[in-house]
Structure 1
């Protein structure tokens, strides 16, 4: 395994989209094109499956130095109401554009720290959202909670709005690691927040754990997972730390590369962590995710309904996902669009009645085909081109690039399909790379992505 790690530990996307953001064709993108594809997709799908909404709440009281997300560090909570007003104005612009009331199948509050906002203000935000939309017959509402500041009032307020899922960012329980990433939260706080969610009535509680963090050892991972399985969260995201200190706005400069585990140490952390999770009764779902058999994510995998988008893995698909808030990304299936990253600019554009989009991508026919193959690999660990609609001219070239991975036992190649082996699952990002035609045609001159291992 160590030989494979050395061989395949290259920079590569996490494939929450295809094309990946650095390969969006910004010159061909227009706001008019985005609006047209969004309306087209909405008309095709809203009545049958509804839409997803992602709301980015960017404020945090302190900087976590492992985080690469767009956020604003402040202790000034007077920012809450003006920001909520802007988000609701942006949603109003979209509802007007779509021409009829959207059915919300999924809604997720991400950040930043959503629980930076008071329960009363979150209630006000959601009242506004659901005054402009309708909930689908079957819907799923979820949010990211910080164990240190998610109160029972937060949980009760959101539960009354229909939320049934919460995910807590745990990362690691070792105090040295927590201090290095500026995320100090004792086990007691996580236990209290987890227990409170279940007492309120949440049907799915998730924990995020990260391996490969600065100063983290294999024993730290063993301890963290042991503590986690004691609390028995329904879902566990076991992420590889993405070291991208060159990206603007993140805090990954409080430690050096020498403080990070080596690629071999990192893979050992993953292997022991995965083994412990499986032994505890968790089932591997796609890349980095594990769930108990009674969780909806596992059910979706069994039924072939699991989906992956900018919100990560979801238990069902919607063709339209609207991202609200600063830096949020929207997906019409036929195109992507990202909001501006500066809060003041975002608020001014919305105030002026302008969708606050600064870049995007209109997918070509080829993009749509490749997107489906990568989705298949990331969600189901297999893909096929028996359907002529999924055939593309470069398949022979892709198979040539995959041959070495097949020789290493990571994939099984048949005449019209690819199957990722159990051994190959940790390398699924590498397996997707040959399908990424935009990246293959124009290899990056500088590092754009985190390492795959």
Structure 2
């Protein structure tokens, strides 16, 4: 990649798991009646055909990784499990009371924290309760995140028996020096054993989360990591850029910026990893994501049915996603709502028999149009405004501002469409920022986002 392009476009920018992005949500606090109304409206319109998605946040971790930017609670006291699961079940019951019909579940994802912090019994009780109060869509997808250091074969078997067929292991990097710096020691043998156990049980798709830009990473260590990955060949790879935001996550101050690969050096690590993945047979299917040719994500990308939400890339394009658990975000397509981040405040509202949402955003027409364009770019590397529903003055303004990207050969602008070139894919966040009306109108006075490169 040309170094001048990195220098030119390496600026702080959102990852666009939502639009508008969370810092620009306007309803804090959100009107709960308006939130409930948006949930019911979308449910009525889409439940029978598409169903709904469920994201369940299980925030506990036994040890704290120094790179972590997630909302987690560090504890070795497993007595917290029972109470927390009880509150998540209560929250689900409040949504059941709100919904006018039995929900059809198209997708369940357990995120963290570390879902495998929880015992197989608690995981079973939670999922069995959800399944007993809903119907399961014929093409439903169920997945969870897992820590190789504490995931047992019994847990894998229990979740498989409950219907889970996808598991995502947090690997990050196989180099010992890097692992020591980020406080995540997990030798190759450990990852290999838990991967083999999942395959022996029958899991259909295994994902590895890998991160570039971590302290002490070098091209040699990245090459070693991908050689290990090639031995195991998980169906999917998420190859994320490390987001260094110590002003938001104090744990990241455990190492300094001098330990981190910067700018050109960091991007070279990504390019090396991408090259090694492609040589191994993986296909780039979205920002930071790769999959084998026969994987469902690859097929969805090729068929232009790939979807993206707060859980990441998915083959289930639902309009309603309900988030359960502390800090979880729900999405009714016309509104966002986030639960209280602290477990204490989350539980306090549930004790009052109220949904534990504290902030959100009601989308206007401009938001909905821009959201669709950014979603198209993130999932297909292209978008079109031929449809009248996708036209808006803000879109025209964005297109006019993309001429510089076109000069740099990062995209091609057609009569009523644009396509991101292979050269432009690493700058997809920058391209999306051009459409971001909230960001342009209200430039942050302090650094809110990680850098785009």
Alpha-carbon distance between aligned partners in 2 of 1:70 and 1:25, rounded to the nearest angstrom:
22
Alpha-carbon distance between aligned partners in 2 of 1:55 and 1:16, rounded to the nearest angstrom:
16
Question: Does residue 379 of the first structure (1) align with residue 379 of the second (2)?
Answer: yes
Q: How does 1:132-171 map to 2 (within 5 A)?
A: 132-171=133-172
Q: Report the 3-state secondary structure (helix = DSSP H, G, I; strand = E; otherwise coil) of the residue aligned with 1:100.
A: coil
Shift of 1:351: 2.0
Alpha-carbon distance between aligned partners in 2 of 1:122 and 1:341, rounded to the nearest angstrom:
21
If the length of structure 1 is used for normalisation, what is the TM-score? 0.98
Alpha-carbon distance between aligned partners in 1 of 2:394 and 2:144, rounded to the nearest angstrom:
40
Q: Report the 3-state secondary structure (helix = DSSP H, G, I; strand = E; otherwise coil) of the residue aligned with 1:430.
A: helix
Question: Does residue 272 of the first structure (1) align with residue 278 of the second (2)?
Answer: no
Q: Which runs of 4+ in 1 moved over 2 A?
A: 394-397
Q: In the alignment, which residue of structure 2 is the partner of 1:443?
A: 443
Alpha-carbon distance between aligned partners in 1 of 2:56 and 2:352, rounded to the nearest angstrom:
20
Shift of 1:134: 1.6
Q: In the alignment, which residue of structure 1 is the partner of 2:25?
A: 24
Alpha-carbon distance between aligned partners in 1 of 2:107 and 2:395, rounded to the nearest angstrom:
35
Alpha-carbon distance between aligned partners in 1 of 2:129 and 2:420, rounded to the nearest angstrom:
44
Q: In the alignment, which residue of structure 2 is the partner of 1:179?
A: 180
Q: How does 1:182-201 map to 2 (within 5 A)?
A: 182-201=183-202
Alpha-carbon distance between aligned partners in 2 of 1:401 and 1:450, rounded to the nearest angstrom:
23
1:28·1:362 contact (CA, 8 Å) conserved in 2? no
1:214·1:259 contact (CA, 8 Å) conserved in 2? yes
Q: In the alignment, which residue of structure 2 is the partner of 1:282?
A: 282
Shift of 1:293: 1.1
1:407-427 alpha-carbon deviations (Å, 9 max, x no partner): 111010112111100000010
Q: Report the 3-state secondary structure (helix = DSSP H, G, I; strand = E; otherwise coil) of the residue aligned with 1:91.
A: helix
Alpha-carbon distance between aligned partners in 2 of 1:314 and 1:245, rounded to the nearest angstrom:
30
Q: Report the 3-state secondary structure (helix = DSSP H, G, I; strand = E; otherwise coil) of the residue aligned with 1:261.
A: coil
Alpha-carbon distance between aligned partners in 2 of 1:222 and 1:404, rounded to the nearest angstrom:
34
Question: Does residue 118 of the first structure (1) align with residue 113 of the second (2)?
Answer: no
Instruction: Give the length in aligned residue pairs.
Output: 452
2:212·2:269 contact (CA, 8 Å) conserved in 1? yes
Alpha-carbon distance between aligned partners in 2 of 1:254 and 1:125, rounded to the nearest angstrom:
36
1:188-207 alpha-carbon deviations (Å, 9 max, x no partner): 01000110000000000110
Alpha-carbon distance between aligned partners in 2 of 1:434 and 1:344, rounded to the nearest angstrom:
39
Shift of 1:157: 0.1
Q: In the alignment, which residue of structure 2 is the partner of 1:86?
A: 87
Question: Does residue 412 of the first structure (1) align with residue 412 of the second (2)?
Answer: yes
Single out whichever of 298-307 and 279-288 deviates more from structure 2: 298-307
1:300·1:316 contact (CA, 8 Å) conserved in 2? no
1:89·1:351 contact (CA, 8 Å) conserved in 2? no
Q: In the alignment, which residue of structure 1 is the partner of 2:426?
A: 426
Q: Report the 3-state secondary structure (helix = DSSP H, G, I; strand = E; otherwise coil) of the residue aligned with 1:77.
A: coil
1:109·1:142 contact (CA, 8 Å) conserved in 2? yes
Single out whichever of 120-129 and 196-205 deviates more from structure 2: 120-129
1:76-115 alpha-carbon deviations (Å, 9 max, x no partner): 0000010000000000000110122111100000000000
Q: In the alignment, which residue of structure 1 is the partner of 2:6?
A: 5
Alpha-carbon distance between aligned partners in 1 of 2:96 and 2:293, rounded to the nearest angstrom:
37
1:155-184 alpha-carbon deviations (Å, 9 max, x no partner): 100000000000000000111111111111
Q: In the alignment, which residue of structure 1 is the partner of 2:254?
A: 254
Question: Does residue 33 of the first structure (1) align with residue 34 of the second (2)?
Answer: yes
Shift of 1:396: 3.4
1:384-438 alpha-carbon deviations (Å, 9 max, x no partner): 1000110011333212321111111101011211110000001000010110011
Q: In the alignment, which residue of structure 2 is the partner of 1:367?
A: 367
Alpha-carbon distance between aligned partners in 2 of 1:363 and 1:451, rounded to the nearest angstrom:
26
Shift of 1:28: 8.2
Q: In the alignment, which residue of structure 1 is the partner of 2:342?
A: 342
Shift of 1:302: 1.6
Q: In the alignment, which residue of structure 2 is the partner of 1:297?
A: 297
Q: Which runs of 5+ in 2 are unaligned?
A: none
Q: In the alignment, which residue of structure 2 is the partner of 1:63?
A: 64
Alpha-carbon distance between aligned partners in 2 of 1:27 and 1:316, rounded to the nearest angstrom:
29
Q: In the alignment, which residue of structure 1 is the partner of 2:393?
A: 393
Alpha-carbon distance between aligned partners in 1 of 2:430 and 2:78, rounded to the nearest angstrom:
43
Alpha-carbon distance between aligned partners in 2 of 1:55 and 1:395, rounded to the nearest angstrom:
34
Q: In the alignment, which residue of structure 2 is the partner of 1:96?
A: 97
2:28·2:359 contact (CA, 8 Å) conserved in 1? no
Q: Which runs of 5+ in 1 are unaligned?
A: none
Q: Report the 3-state secondary structure (helix = DSSP H, G, I; strand = E; otherwise coil) of the residue aligned with 2:238.
A: strand
2:406·2:412 contact (CA, 8 Å) conserved in 1? yes
1:341-388 alpha-carbon deviations (Å, 9 max, x no partner): 111221121122010001000000110000000000000000010001
Alpha-carbon distance between aligned partners in 1 of 2:28 and 2:168, rounded to the nearest angstrom:
37
Q: In the alignment, which residue of structure 2 is the partner of 1:230?
A: 231
Alpha-carbon distance between aligned partners in 1 of 2:226 and 2:77, rounded to the nearest angstrom:
35
Q: Report the 3-state secondary structure (helix = DSSP H, G, I; strand = E; otherwise coil) of the residue aligned with 2:252.
A: coil
Q: Report the 3-state secondary structure (helix = DSSP H, G, I; strand = E; otherwise coil) of the residue aligned with 2:15.
A: coil
2:56·2:111 contact (CA, 8 Å) conserved in 1? yes
2:370·2:395 contact (CA, 8 Å) conserved in 1? no
Q: In the alignment, which residue of structure 2 is the partner of 1:216?
A: 217
Q: In the alignment, which residue of structure 1 is the partner of 2:240?
A: 239
Alpha-carbon distance between aligned partners in 2 of 1:166 and 1:98, rounded to the nearest angstrom:
29
Alpha-carbon distance between aligned partners in 1 of 2:207 and 2:384, rounded to the nearest angstrom:
32
Shift of 1:27: 5.2
